Amino acid sequence: MTDLPRTPLATLPTPLLPAPRLSDAVGVEVWIKRDDMTGLLLGGNKARKLEFLCGEAQAQGADTLVTGGGGGSNHVQLTAAAATRLGLGCVVVCYGSAPSAEPLGLRLARRLGAEVVFTGSPERASVDTRLEEVAAKLTADGRHPYVIPRGGASAVGAVGYAVAALELRDQLDAEGVASATVLLATGSCGTQAGLVAGASVLCGGRPGVIGVPVSRPPEEAIERVARLATGCAERLGSDQAFDDSNVALLGGYLGPGYGKASREGDEAAGLALRTEGLVLDPVFTAKAMAALVAEARTGRLTGPIVFLHTGGTPAALAAVP
């Protein structure tokens, strides 16, 4: 399928579980793909991406992973965990300034040995420039850094979810579930891009994929997903190109903004907890669940739906009163 270098980090395949009580509550058949159970640190979708990102890093002789995001980024903490597992150094760049009380994820990254740098700017994009500056300094010091973009959102990282699309298709076939659609929170866009590319290139067009933007405007998310899916397909040995017509999104569920919980998300997370015992991140997976609940109850979304639980356990636990 692909001869790209890959370093095993995740416990795969992750479970695909029926959600009968949630299905009854929303009026459509729902399954849960438990990528919160990937096994690296506290789990989450970034582990699949890091298998290919770290594989490339090791193939290039890197001795340090350099990445960044917000202080509560799941990607940041899982990259630190991957570096520890592989005996690599890790430098994390966070936008903003050091908070008086660090999020659990950032505390975990420090405990794992990561060096943490703050940009001093509240803009998320400030991370991107600083990543290159950090890498240049490491190179000048005789190190061999490998830069991973925010969220692991690169064509290489997306391959992890192209492979996941194949895993999911086989699970659905084993369960006798036809014509399912994956619904997921879309942040840095690499997960949706990988699923889109994998479904098309590896799986004959199934399952369908719908993203719920939780960190950027829908038009920006569409462009990013299409671009990353095209790059991912190239790494899978395909010349297929993707455009806006290949990217399905459900907008309108961002709430008050990136990194901020919404009333609809909180209500949907409560429903998922009470019906299926699912713990959802209030600013990512909860908003995707809000879309599932609202769209299913109004008949705009029909089943079977596979809700991709992408993780976010530290943020979910921090939100418990």
* 73 catalytic per annotation: yes
The catalytically annotated residue of 73, 126, 200, 262 is 73
How far apart CA 81 and CA 212 sit, in angstroms, is 27
How far apart CA 68 and CA 90 sit, in angstroms, is 10
Residue 69 near residue 151 (C-beta atoms within 8 A): yes
How far apart CA 271 and CA 283 sit, in angstroms, is 16
Nearest-Å Rg of the Cα atoms of the chain is: 19
DSSP calls for 44-109: -THHHHHHHHHHHHHHTT--EEEEEE-TT-HHHHHHHHHHHHHT-EEEEEESS---SS--HHHHHH
**Whether the bond into 13 is cis, omega within 30 of 0:** yes
Residues serving a catalytic function are 73
